[in-house]
Amino acid sequence: MNINPVSILKEHDLKHTKQRVRVLEEIALDSVAISQPDLEKKLGKEIDRVTLYRILNTYQEKGILHRIMDMNGTANYAVCTSSCSEDHHHDEHVHFNCTNCNKIYCLEVEAPRIKMPKGFTAKTVSSIAYGICEKCNAI
Amino acid sequence: MNINPVSILKEHDLKHTKQRVRVLEEIALDSVAISQPDLEKKLGKEIDRVTLYRILNTYQEKGILHRIMDMNGTANYAVCTSSCSEDHHHDEHVHFNCTNCNKIYCLEVEAPRIKMPKGFTAKTVSSIAYGICEKCNAI
DNA sequence: TAGTATATGCAATTAAATTGCATATACTAT
DNA sequence: ATAGTATATGCAATTTAATTGCATATACTA
Ligand SMILES: [Mn+2]
Ligand SMILES: [Mn+2]
Ligand SMILES: [Zn+2]
Ligand SMILES: [Zn+2]
């Protein structure tokens, strides 16, 4: 993913700190989402655990990252591609969670429109497909 | 929901214990899914926390309950309506998570078929719609 | 009814998340 | 450039969640 952490911080009126830049860089490295535990491992003691929590929350609230919960309730983070805002994430694509390697992919597939029963008004829909990813299928 | 805990246990070769019956009864009470924390509160000290964990896992593995993870990574449980088996849950309907009351509904809406990109093979799809439920809309 | 397998409860660990606060750092205004 | 102010960070302490080991209790089988 080709993003510029510094300008993203500016755009969202966030102070430019080396921790924030580092986290965003790390997540943008890969096109697949990274889980919070993996992120912690990668960062090691570069960044305090609590700080990481706070940065991830801020990013998610600001619409810089989106958070995808996997089957086990683990948070996974990916850079928001489209223009997400504080009040609304446009993360309306399907995610794919490989049950073999556990990676989470943001697919280029739009989340399907779903008709709601009377009385229910949906604002967003999250769709996660579980199965085997291209890499694991290739092996 | 009109289920018979005792016969469900028999069907799945699970020993009939009062804790297992109690948990299943409690979850079946309501048509909406119940969160693990709420379940713990409801059961109070009737059942040990660890036992509850084990019962819920067993039920989920056996296909008696299905587990729906909400936005916060909290597990929610609902009785499997259709015939779920150990190897495959037929929980292919859409869930609705009210952002006001937090309840999770199992909708009578089939999960949409989604075309996967080349290389990806999906086994199941989980769709969760977020919004306002009928009750909260009525207020 | 006795014997065996397994479920439960309790205590102890381990892991995850949150909070409070002192200090460091980034930005603003002079 | 500098000083002042607001906020981000790190560390320690809590709180909450989940797991493990083991002795005892309970359900089913023979
Ligand atoms: Mn995504
Ligand atoms: Mn359901
Ligand atoms: Zn894979
Ligand atoms: Zn509601």
Residue pLDDT, tens place only, B44-81: 889 999 999 999 999 999 999 989 998 889 999 998 77
Give the pLDDT of residue B108: 76
Nucleotide nearest to A53 (CA to C1'): C17
Scanning the structure block, which residue is given the tokens 């040990």?
B48
CA distance A93 to A124: 11
Amino acid residing at A115: K
Alpha helices in chain A, H assignment, sequence order:
5-11, 18-29, 36-43, 49-62, 134-138
Cβ of B49 near strand D (under 7 Å)? The reply is: yes
Q: pLDDT: is B126 or B14 the higher one?
A: B14
Give the pLDDT of residue A93: 80
Instruction: Search chain A and give the residue with CA nearest B122.
Output: A131
Would the CB atoms of B129 and A137 count as touching at under 8 Å? no
pTM above 0.85, yes or no: yes
CA distance A47 to A45: 5
Tell me the CA–centroid distance for residue A58 and ligand 3, in Å. Answer: 29
Tell me the CA–centroid distance for residue B53 and ligand 1, in Å. Answer: 31
Tell me the CA–centroid distance for residue A98 and ligand 3, in Å. Answer: 5
Contact in structure between B21 and B44 (CB atoms under 8 Å) = no
Give the pLDDT of residue A91: 63
Q: To the nearest whole percent, how much of chain A has pLDDT over 90? A: 65
What residues contact A20, with CB distance under 8 A and at least 6 apart?
Answer: A5, A9, A14, A55
Q: Across chain A, what does the average pLDDT equal?
A: 89
Give the pLDDT of residue A86: 53
Scanning the structure block, which residue is given the tokens 């597990």?
B75
Given strand A75-79, what is the order of strands in its sheet?
A: A34-35, A75-79, A65-69
Looking at chain A, how many residues does it have? 139
- pLDDT tens readout for residues A10-67: 999 999 999 999 999 999 999 899 999 999 999 999 999 999 999 999 999 999 998 9
pLDDT at residue A89 tops 60? no
pLDDT at residue A99 tops 60? yes
pLDDT at residue B138 tops 70? yes
Strand D proximal residues, A:21-40, Cβ < 7 Å? none
Nearest to A54 by CA among A82, A5, A15: A15
Give the pLDDT of residue A31: 85
Cβ of B16 near strand D (under 7 Å)? The reply is: yes
CB < 8 Å to A133, chain B: 119-120
Which of B109, B112, B121 lies closest to A131 in CB terms?
B121
A91 is in an annotated binding site: yes
Give the pLDDT of residue A18: 97
Which domains are assigned to chain A?
5-137 (1.10.10.10)
- pLDDT tens readout for residues B5-43: 999 999 999 999 999 999 999 999 988 999 999 999 999
Give the pLDDT of residue B21: 98
pLDDT band at A87 (very low <50, low <70, confident <90, very high): low
